[in-house]
Amino acid sequence: MISLKQVHYALAVERHLHFRRAAEACNISQSALSTALSEMEKQLGFQIFERDNRKVLVTPLGRQVLDRARSIELQMEDLRKLADAQREPLSTPLSLGVIPTIGPYLLPRVLPALEDKYPQLQLNILEDQSAEVLDQLRRGALDAAIIALPYDCEGLLTFPFWQEDLLWIVHADDKNAGVESAKVEDLARTHLMLLKDGHCLTEHALAACNLETVATHSFSATSLSTLIQLVAGRIGSTLVPDIAVEQLVKDNARLTAIPLEEPGPHRQLAIAIRPNYPGMANVEALVQLFGENLNAATAN
């Protein structure tokens, strides 16, 4: 009979495509993992993995097995969390994904309040791009994710807690620095720098300005901080979300933040979960706390 441990080991090998690294992730020896999977393949009557000294590949039948195994592991994890759901909100460990254009600007505002109101919470945070964060959420590696909408969240539930505009950031000596608001044609006439492909903020920025693409230098920026330094160095201009303006722009006399004339809000911040996630009380608590703290910061 195939065991849940064998299912767990098989999924670890699928993630790492390497038996030694999978064994380390499962905290067992490589020989024990190999033996368990060989026995699993024997019971199934076919190979899940093709392996040699250099690589590991998933067989076509193995792919079908792993798809079902992933669903089983996810359901078992949700069953284990049912007991946690009966406790006080945010009193048990929580794995939370967050994207780079939100994490550095939201977390410093809300973590002190979380620690104060929910002292028993053990928070594990993963920062990555939207696609990777949501993939891990769907696989059950994360309990919830903080993302920016609009974004393709098929198969997931989303709970918005904040909406905001994007602002155009130019050098203080730029000829546009004195305007009250920026038109699309203003941005189109400048060297507008955005994050490299894969960051959802780039798509939000292009949509907000009705632009299909922008000219870029040969480098690809991976953070808003890098783009801000380039603007300060008079390389071009950029767009940042309102939540990041205080941290990135307000104390820098070389920079000016200009609202866009295009109607907003230009993006929504939201918590995403799986439909069967049992910790709905955790989500409700996070949505309320995040919203309250952002509203308070805006009021001040």
For residue 212, is pLDDT > 80? no
| 10 plus 46 within the same structural domain | yes
| 136 plus 121 within the same structural domain | yes
| 156 plus 134 within the same structural domain | yes
116 CB neighbour count, 10 Å cutoff? 8
- Range(s) of the domain holding residue 8: 4-84
Q: Rounded CA gap, 39 and 35, in Å?
A: 6
In the predicted model, what is the mean pLDDT of the chain?
86
| 178 plus 200 within the same structural domain | yes
Domain boundary among 61, 84, 107: 84
| 106 plus 61 within the same structural domain | no
| 272 plus 250 within the same structural domain | no
Give the model's pLDDT for residue 68: 86
**Tens of pLDDT, residues 44-75:** 888 989 887 778 888 988 888 888 888 888 77
Residue 162 neighbours by CB under 8 Å, 6+ apart: 243, 268, 269, 290, 291, 294
| 23 plus 76 within the same structural domain | yes
| 155 plus 283 within the same structural domain | yes
Paired tokens of 78 = 């949700």
127 vs 178, which has greater pLDDT? 127
Total domain count for the chain?
3
- CATH number, domain of 284, equals 3.40.190.10
Give the model's pLDDT for residue 217: 41
| 290 plus 142 within the same structural domain | yes
| Percent of the chain at pLDDT exceeding 70 | 93
What average pLDDT score do residues 249-255 get? 89
**Tens of pLDDT, residues 140-153:** 889 999 999 999 99
Give the model's pLDDT for residue 209: 76
Q: How confident is the model at residue 165 (pLDDT cuts 50, 70, 90)?
A: very high
What average pLDDT score do residues 126-136 get? 93
| 171 plus 253 within the same structural domain | yes
| 94 plus 212 within the same structural domain | no
Residue 201 neighbours by CB under 8 Å, 6+ apart: 101, 148, 194, 195, 224, 239, 241, 267
Q: How confident is the model at residue 96 (pLDDT cuts 50, 70, 90)?
A: very high
What average pLDDT score do residues 240-267 get? 90
Paired tokens of 175 = 């000829």
Paired tokens of 156 = 């997931």
What average pLDDT score do residues 83-87 get? 60
| Highest-pLDDT range among 23-32, 58-67, 121-130, 174-183 | 121-130
Give the model's pLDDT for residue 182: 86
What average pLDDT score do residues 255-268 get? 90
Give the model's pLDDT for residue 95: 93
| 98 plus 244 within the same structural domain | no
